């Protein structure tokens, strides 16, 4: 079994489910009655959770902090069968709390517990520790899930690519960091990020995508570019300019939170399982549109992905 490692920004997603039963006697505002609360993994940790849910061994490496939330992070990783390699050097654990109305699953507000100015910055000592962990695990596949929280620099990526140039690396990063990842196996922006990368506000149409992405593939020297496109979902281009667009079935969308994480995880899982790139994108596409029908950050299960389907014939 190929080893898959997920690295970069991790956080906890906290959900507070509530109902309004009466007005607040202290002020003319609704009184929220909390029914339940739960924590879930998000960002790179959610990618890892999706890989693990597809019955594949996965390791998660990144910076953490020894606070109360870190204990919950370790517990969630254990419950999701993720091997966590935490390096305790962050100033805090990032938490995002969502208040969700219980009946109709509508989000009232979100509270972010983070301070981007205090987020760790690059140092050679820290990167030696990260590279050491990667060498010990010796993965065949590396997923980089970057949410631009100040922990990524050109120097750090250069070191990563130099040490693991012979591994398959899939990157989901923010537009400002895209040029750091020259030569990777797959780059996966969403449509908005793609527009920011090319510096053009284009329509979400196939011909517009095809007009601009060849130069990007050539500039970055990547093997594949995958652009996720919301309701039109995914487009794929090879280094030789072969292009496909994979539509999806329309469905009711409850929450798009984490859908991109599910896409990345399923894409790499399918590649590790031996599916060709086209079928891998199709499976990732299907997985994403399953989880958007769920509430909040959600993971895909293998039985959901293959319900009434047999994809075995599509493997290499």
Within a domain: residue 267? yes
Indicate the pairing of strand 10-23 with strand 58-64. unpaired
Strand partners, 10: 43
Catalytically active residues are 261
User: Which range of residues forms the domain containing residue 202?
Assistant: 4-10+42-95+121-314
Q: What three-state secondary structure class fits 172?
A: strand
Walking along the chain (316 residues) 10 residues at a time, the average pLDDT comes out as 79 93 91 93 91 92 82 92 84 88 89 73 70 90 83 81 92 91 94 94 92 90 92 85 79 63 92 94 91 78 78 53
Within a domain: residue 254? yes
Whole-number Cα distances in Å, 104 to 16, 146, 255, 295: 14, 32, 12, 10
Distance CA 254, CA 248 (A): 16
Distance CA 107, CA 296 (A): 9
Q: Give the pTM.
A: 0.86
Q: For the chain, how many structural domains are there in total?
A: 1
Within a domain: residue 262? yes
Q: What pLDDT score was predicted for residue 256?
A: 62
Q: What pLDDT score was predicted for residue 245?
A: 92
- 246: left (phi > 0), else alpha (psi -120 to 50), else beta? beta
Within a domain: residue 285? yes
Q: What pLDDT score was predicted for residue 313?
A: 46
Tell me, what DSSP letter sits at residue 315? B
Q: What three-state secondary structure class fits 91?
A: coil
Indicate the pairing of strand 83-88 with strand 95-101. unpaired
Within a domain: residue 133? yes
CATH assignment of the domain containing 209: 3.40.1190.20
């Amino acid at each position: 079994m190929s080893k898959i490692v997920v690295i970069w920004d991790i956080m906890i997603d906290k959900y507070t489910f509530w109902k309004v039963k009466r007005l607040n006697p202290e002020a003319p505002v609704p009184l929220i009655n909390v029914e339940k609360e739960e924590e879930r993994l998000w960002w790179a940790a959610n990618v890892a959770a999706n890989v693990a849910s597809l019955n594949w061994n996965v390791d998660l490496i990144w910076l953490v902090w020894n606070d109360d939330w870190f204990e919950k992070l370790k517990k969630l990783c254990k419950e999701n069968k993720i091997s966590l390699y935490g390096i305790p050097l962050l100033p805090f654990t990032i938490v995002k709390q969502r208040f969700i109305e219980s009946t109709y699953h509508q989000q009232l507000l979100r509270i972010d517990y983070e301070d981007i100015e205090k987020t760790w910055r690059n140092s050679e000592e820290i990167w030696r520790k990260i590279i050491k962990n990667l060498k010990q695990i010796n993965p065949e596949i590396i997923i980089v899930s970057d949410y631009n929280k100040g922990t990524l620099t050109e120097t750090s990526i250069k070191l990563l690519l130099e040490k693991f140039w012979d591994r398959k690396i899939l990157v989901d990063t923010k537009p400002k960091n895209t040029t750091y990842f020259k030569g990777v196996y797959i780059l996966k922006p969403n449509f908005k990020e793609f527009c920011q990368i090319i510096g053009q506000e284009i329509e979400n149409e196939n011909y517009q995508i095809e007009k601009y992405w060849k130069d990007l593939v050539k500039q970055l020297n990547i093997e594949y570019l995958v652009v996720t496109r919301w309701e039109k979902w995914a487009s794929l281009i090879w280094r030789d300019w072969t292009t496909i667009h994979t539509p999806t079935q329309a469905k009711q969308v409850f929450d798009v939170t984490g859908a991109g994480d599910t896409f990345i995880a399923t894409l790499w899982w399918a590649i590790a399982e031996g599916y060709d790139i086209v079928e891998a994108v199709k499976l990732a596409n299907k997985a994403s549109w399953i989880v958007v029908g769920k509430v909040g950050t959600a993971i895909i299960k293998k039985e959901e992905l293959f319900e009434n389907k047999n994809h075995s014939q599509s493997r290499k």
